[in-house]
Amino acid sequence: MSGVDEVVRPEGGSMRELLRVGPGAVDLAALDPRSTPGLPAAAGRGEGRKEWARAQVELLGAGLGRQQEMLYAAAKGAAGPETPASAPSQADAHLAGGRPQRVLLVLQAMDCGGKDGTIKRVAGAMNPLGLHIRSFGPPTGEELRHDFLWRIRRALPPPGYVGIFNRSHYEDVLVARVESLVDEATWQARYDLINDFERELADGAVTLVKVMLHISYVEQGERLMERLTDPTKYWKFNPSDLDTRARWDDYQAAYADALTRCGTDTAPWLVVPADRKWYRDWAVSHLLRETFDALHLGYPPADFDVDRERQRLRSGSGTTKVNSG
């Protein structure tokens, strides 16, 4: 394919529609980690698709950067949450009921699923100033003294920010369940608590994009071996990754339950086939683009008299100190 200079839409529907799982029981084994839903014919065939997708991700990235800036700008110019809500005006059309929006990308995956790579590629296109990226490891002593959502609430992006969660509250129904870190009654109760929490987020103008990067057992094995072969990748390896791998089926079952029980209309689960990194990045880029598009963002109007400020600048009051040093 030559002359890739514009974004080509996914084929067969939006990526949100194509990758959404449920309603009903989710069967991960039926979703091929090497498949490429939505990839248009324009991508070509075979190896060429990789190059095509990479070029598209670059183009998509420029758009994501612009949209993210609009989100950030809207929050900067908006009245804070303490200010009484004023009557909605044309100027507030880019805000939900006058409240600045937030977007939160939740990334879940088995080890080597590509969470870090996705963040590097997709978030790399956006302005770091407006990003709020948080990773979740085993809870600290202080975190364990609170309920499981406590650390999650504290990590939410402020209005106007794009948040990215590298792992999330879902670990509390994944690793916590498989490794029996809590008793069954405790993790069983968490699905409903998560659904309540996510509804609360949606009501607070947080748009969730919940993505499971779906890799195969074989692909994980290859990526782990890479980490054990290339000395520049040792840092990515943790011996406990092999213990987790040994319980692959239990983790897949726990994932399937989380997707089934917490895939809601307000916060659907999206499964991105992730054995092919180029497809993964392309798919997640489109998911974010669609999310931004649905927010109908725009740059906020000036909250000052533009003509008057121009006049002041011309008449010298804004220029006298320039180049004085």
d(CA 235, CA 230) in angstroms, rounded, equals: 10
127-166 residues in contact with Mg ion (CB under 5 A) are none
Which residue, 170, 94, 110, 92, is CA-closest to 136? 170
Q: At closest approach, how far in Å is the CB of 30 from Mg ion?
A: 26
Q: Count residues contacting ligand AMP (CB under 6 A)?
A: 10
Q: Considering the rule CB under 6 A, would residue 193 count as an interface residue with ligand AMP?
A: no
Residue 176 contacts which entry, Mg ion, ligand AMP, none (Cβ below 5-8 A, type-dependent): ligand AMP
Which residue's CB is nearer to ligand AMP, number 151 or number 199?
Answer: 151
Residue 198 contacts which entry, Mg ion, ligand AMP, none (Cβ below 5-8 A, type-dependent): none
- Taking residue 97's Cβ as centre, other Cβ atoms within 10 Å add up to 8
Which range binds ligand AMP by CB under 6 A, 13-21, 60-68, 133-141, 213-221?
133-141
Q: At closest approach, how far in Å is the CB of 56 from ligand AMP?
A: 28
- Taking residue 68's Cβ as centre, other Cβ atoms within 10 Å add up to 24
**Tokens describing residue 79:** 């009245």
Angle (CA) 78-70-301 rounded to 5° is: 55
The answer to whether the beta carbons of residues 37 and 11 sit under 8 Å apart is: no
Q: Considering the rule CB under 5 A, would residue 171 count as an interface residue with Mg ion?
A: no
Q: Considering the rule CB under 6 A, would residue 139 count as an interface residue with ligand AMP?
A: yes
Which residue's CB is nearer to Mg ion, number 86 or number 238?
Answer: 238
297-to-63, 159, 202, 283, 291 alpha-carbon distances in Å: 12, 14, 17, 21, 10
Q: Which residue is nearest to ligand AMP (CB)?
A: 171
Q: Considering the rule CB under 5 A, would residue 111 count as an interface residue with Mg ion?
A: yes
Q: Considering the rule CB under 6 A, would residue 138 count as an interface residue with ligand AMP?
A: yes
x/- track of binding to Mg ion for residues 216-245 (CB under 5 A): ------------------------------
**Selected binder of ligand AMP within 3, 80, 128, 137 (CB under 6 A):** 137
Assess whether the previous peptide bond of 84 is cis (omega < 30° from 0).
no
d(CA 61, CA 292) in angstroms, rounded, equals: 12
Phi and psi at 299, nearest 5°, equal: -75, 140
Question: Which residue pairs from 59-62 have beta carbons closer than 8 angstroms and sit at least 24 positions apart in sequence?
Answer: 59/4, 59/5, 59/6, 59/7, 60/7, 60/125, 60/282, 60/285, 60/286, 60/289, 61/122, 61/124, 61/125, 61/126, 61/285, 62/125
Q: At closest approach, how far in Å is the CB of 211 from ligand AMP?
A: 15
Q: At closest approach, how far in Å is the CB of 244 from Mg ion?
A: 8
149-188 residues in contact with ligand AMP (CB under 6 A) are 167, 171-172, 175-176, 181
Which range binds Mg ion by CB under 5 A, 19-27, 36-44, 107-115, 279-287?
107-115
Question: Partners of 207 in the beta sheet?
Answer: 103
Q: At closest approach, how far in Å is the CB of 187 from ligand AMP?
A: 11
The residue written with tokens 């209309």 in the block is 265
Note the residues at the interface with ligand AMP (CB under 6 A): 136-139, 167, 171-172, 175-176, 181
Residues making contact with Mg ion (CB under 5 A): 111
